[in-house]
Chain A
Amino acid sequence: MRQHVLGPIDEFPPGSRRIVELEGRSIGVFNVDGRLYALRNRCPHQGAPLCLGPVAPLVTAPCPGSYVAERAEVIRCPWHGWEFQLSDGRSWVDPEGTRVRAYPVEVRGGQVLIQMR
């Protein structure tokens, strides 16, 4: 684990998204209603800049005609629409086999810290 300081938390307000370069990798850092997430900015499918896609609750349907907006946020790839959970980078379509790297982020002493592996 290598820790990096991304900057003061007020540079990552709720609703913000920043793309940062760390160790040669492009990483998206998200603040969704106070929850911080960081994902590798590269879709495992065809290499799209994943973190430029829209973020929204995952919509599921227990049966046709009944739709539920889950609490878990997903990011939708700007190209083909594949959805990935912001919390752990797992895709909805193939949670075990198709994942994008998710990095732990936390706030300590007013600074946003990210753990790289």
Chain B
Amino acid sequence: MTVDAARDPSPAARPARPAIVDADIHNTWPEPAALDSYLPERWRRLRARLGERLHPGAQYPRLNPAAARTDAWPPDGGLPGSNLDLMRDQLLDRWSIEHGILNPLLEAGELLNLEYGAAFARAVNDWQVAEWLEPEPRLRASITVPYEDAPLAVAEIERRGGDRRFVQVLLASRTLEPLGRRRYWPMYAAAEAADLPIGIHFGGAGGFPTTAAGLPSFYFEEHAGMATVFQDQLTSLVFEGVFERFPRLRVVLIEGGFAWLLPLMWRLDRTWGMLREELPHVTRPPSDTIRERVFLTTQPIEEPPQPQLLARLLDRMDMDAHLLFATDYPHWDFDAPDRALPGVLGGARRDRLLRGNARALYRFG
């Protein structure tokens, strides 16, 4: 098959749109060797000899190659998400993105060699500054950290914390232990001190199966199960007392949707009442804490057959100020800014989701 016309149907015909904040964009290298010049010689040599040795679990076929929209492969032959010009054309310019947050899903946190993971994270963040943040002022970035070793992660948070173009610390939803466990607390202290939210993005590999039931046959079982891993991580953070210990910490759950949260809050509140003796360090009803400290990106948005059900759910959830619109560009389950939020989410609510909440959380403006 050949395609011999413009990639994008009549972009010039589109009217100007109000600005949008995109809370989840995936930048990557055109090919892995592009990171080499940001790595010290010692690690560059090791990388050439051994490559990346990772915790197992994440190497999974996706719906499409590179998990990408099939129209997002750049003409230069690089990976989707590696070409800033195409990102401008398909996302930033096309939808008037005021700020977009880069969450590179490069495997610093999954590397078994922890010192290499730390060097890899530093290289990814240097690469983000040089190749994304410097040339494109609309972009902001998350700090990549080797999150399975808290002291190494803290060093990287402290190194980047003063650059306000870095707006959060990026963890993955699959980790060696639940994220409320104390081995991770130094990262939360550092993030709180730097006034940065902790972002937890779907994916990662802690060496465990990709669903709580085991390794599934099909990719879509993993995709449909993204809510459950976020439920487990959020429950861990709440019941371990992380929010009591770090009273200014804010957590963003990225790429898990949000409609699952309301029934979880019902259950956590009931459990809290019953298990107070086991959890005396949890001093408030979990839903109070979650409504104050937890944020969620919308993508991949739940699409009930009757869109008004989504509006009714949000009425009950009472977290309108905590939902952040995200596209997930360039991945296949992209949410389009003008189409993903149904019309029933209108007026001030829509305005908050598309821009206001992210501006406030990430201190834009």
Contact = CB atoms under 8 A, between A and B. Distances in A.
Interface in B269-305: none
A80 B299 CA distance: 13
A47 B339 contact: yes
B69 A79 contact: yes
Contacts of B10: 21, 24, 26
A53 B4 CA distance: 14
Nearest to B9: A26
Interface stretch (B40-48, B102-110, B308-316, B327-335): B327-335
Contacts of B9: 19, 26, 41-42, 49
B8 A49 contact: yes
B93 to A, nearest CB: 16
A20 B9 CA distance: 9
Contacts of B213: none
Interface in B173-225: none
B340 A46 contact: yes
A48 B1 contact: no
Contacts of B340: 46
A16 B2 CA distance: 5
Interface in A6-48: 15-21, 24, 26, 41-42, 45-48
B7 interface: yes
Contacts of A26: 5, 9-10
B34 interface: no
Given A46-B339, A47-B338, A81 B332 contact: yes
Contacts of B332: 78-81
B300 to A, nearest CB: 9
A52 interface: yes
B348 interface: no
B308 to A, nearest CB: 17
Q: How large is the interface on B (under 10, 10 to 19, 20 to 34, 35 or more residues)?
A: 20 to 34
Interface residues of A, number: 24
Given A18-B5, A52-B7, A47 B70 contact: no
Grouping DSSP codes into helix (H, G, I), strand (E, B) and loop, the B interface class, with mixed when no group exceeds half, is loop
Contacts of B338: 47
A28 B70 CA distance: 16
Interface in B315-346: 332-336, 338-340
A114 interface: no
A78 B71 contact: yes
A19 B3 contact: yes
B71 A49 contact: yes
Given A41-B9, A47-B336, A79-B334, A17 B2 contact: yes
A1 to B, nearest CB: 23
A21 B4 CA distance: 12
A56 to B, nearest CB: 10
A18 B6 CA distance: 10
Contacts of B8: 49
Contacts of A80: 332-334
Interface of A: 15-21, 24, 26, 41-42, 45-49, 52-55, 78-81
12 contacts: A15-B1, A17-B1, A18-B4, A19-B5, A21-B10, A24-B10, A41-B9, A46-B336, A47-B339, A78-B70, A79-B334, A80-B332
Given A45-B339, A78-B332, A79-B69, 15 more contacts: A16-B1, A18-B2, A19-B4, A21-B5, A24-B10, A26-B10, A46-B335, A48-B69, A49-B8, A53-B71, A54-B1, A54-B70, A78-B69, A78-B70, A79-B334
